[in-house]
Amino acid sequence: MLVMEDQLVYTPKDFKSSNEVRWCPGCGDHAIMAAIQKAMAGLGKKHEDYAVISGIGCSSRFPYYMSTYGFHTIHGRAAAIASGVKCANPELSVWQISGDGDALAIGGNHFIHTIRRNIDLNLILFNNKIYGLTKGQYSPTTDRGFVTKTSPFGTIEDPFIPGQLVLGSRGTFFARAIDNNVKLCQEVCEEAAKHEGTSVVEVLQNCVIFNEGVHAEISNPKTRADNQLHLVHGKPMLFGKENEKGIVWEHGHLKVVELGKDGYTIDDIMIHDAHEPSRAVHMALINMSLPEFPVAMGVIRAVKTDVYDEMMVKQIENVQAESKIKNMDDLLNSGDTWVVE
């Protein structure tokens, strides 16, 4: 921590706790934590302005490793507990850390309702498409047909696409990042923190032990330029090693085109509008998948609307202002009162 002109300046190191980090060597969680610590250091808040809430799972060990307030709580319930923290103390910057099992299986109910209420918290969803802590059973994001300990012949269930759930729950912020791009993780976490309302960041995370290489096609340094589309608000949707490819909207659908081919020019390429209230294009971007499309990364949706905890405080203030009851004596003398003689 540096003191510059009477102001505290935090570094990512200030957000590291003294606890030994017990994730497996090579686990994607290490990089995501580094990104979040960098993001927090840059937001100008103090340690004690943050509360990090987790449920149960490998990623849920997160609070132990952070030099902030933190609760390691109940499987699936982190969203409800984080909501309680934020409503009880709206001053805190509340961050929920959950895995795909914690947030979307047992916690699916709380996940959608927290987003629907638009409580101002940042929900970082570590998606490795497996239950890691219980050693390798399929999760609600595991692709159909995938072999795990509880699906030795392939799952017969279709997975959730987390962004679809967020939009279906009237979500106001959704971003996607990947664990081997710390800079991107940091950027989207900063944007999530700045957004007022529930911000969901899906981080594609590699589980080296039980699901090694699950996102390899997306993360591979050799192919990622072609397989990832980095969205920036107000910028054209270009991708490829030389930015030679782009996304156009044709006949109500997204389409991948090459610049200079079939008559497509930069003017045809869609400009990303993260602030567009309509969900149609954002949903289409969330749905893009390999091999037909690159996978959309960055802030896909960031729409400002009313925030629950602000409205709650305002409503209490309004009711208090309009009420004739200003103190305990007013209350005791209100309603049906009589004198005992």
Q: Which residues contact 308 (CB under 8 A, 6 or more apart)?
A: 87, 117, 118, 119, 120
Q: Are 82 and 62 in contact (CB under 8 A)?
A: no
Residue closer to other proteins, measured from CB, 28 or 76: 76
Least distance in Å: CB of 317 to other proteins?
37
| Residue 137 in contact with other proteins, rule: CB under 8 A | yes
Residue closer to other proteins, measured from CB, 106 or 225: 106
- Which one, of 183, 202, 219, lies nearest residue 286 by Cα? 202
Ramachandran assignment for 223, one of left (phi > 0), alpha (psi -120 to 50 degrees), beta (any other): alpha
36, 40, 51, 56: residue in contact with other proteins (rule CB under 8 A): 56
Q: Are 234 and 224 in contact (CB under 8 A)?
A: no
| Residue 138 in contact with other proteins, rule: CB under 8 A | yes
Residue 171: CA count within 13 A, CB half-sphere: 31
| Residue 152 in contact with other proteins, rule: CB under 8 A | yes
Binding map of other proteins across residues 64-83, x = CB under 8 A, - = no contact = --------x-xxx-------
From 13-21, 110-118, 149-157, 299-307, span contacting other proteins (CB under 8 A): 149-157
Q: Are 257 and 246 in contact (CB under 8 A)?
A: yes
| Residue 84 in contact with other proteins, rule: CB under 8 A | no
Residue closer to other proteins, measured from CB, 37 or 211: 211
14, 34, 71, 134: residue in contact with other proteins (rule CB under 8 A): 134
The whole-angstrom separation of Cα 26 and Cα 6 is 40
Name the residues that contact other proteins, by CB under 8 A.
56, 72, 74-76, 105-106, 108, 131, 133-135, 137-138, 140, 149-153
